[in-house]
Amino acid sequence: MKTMWAPWRIEYILDKKDEGCIFCNALSKNDDLTLFKGELSMVVMNKFPYINGHLLIAPVRHLSTLSGLGKNEKVDLLELVEKSIGILKLVMKPDGFNVGLNLGKVAGAGIEEHLHFHIVPRWFGDTNALAVFADLRVIPEHLKATYNNLKPHFEPK
Question: Where in the sequence numbering do the catalytic residues fall?
Answer: 116
Angle at 103 between CA 127 and CA 121, to 5 degrees: 30
Could you write out the DSSP letters of every residue in 104-135?
A: SGGGT-SSTTS--EEEEEE-TT---HHHHHSS
DSSP code per residue over 39-76: SSEEEEE-SS-SSTT-EEEEESS----GGGS-HHHHHH
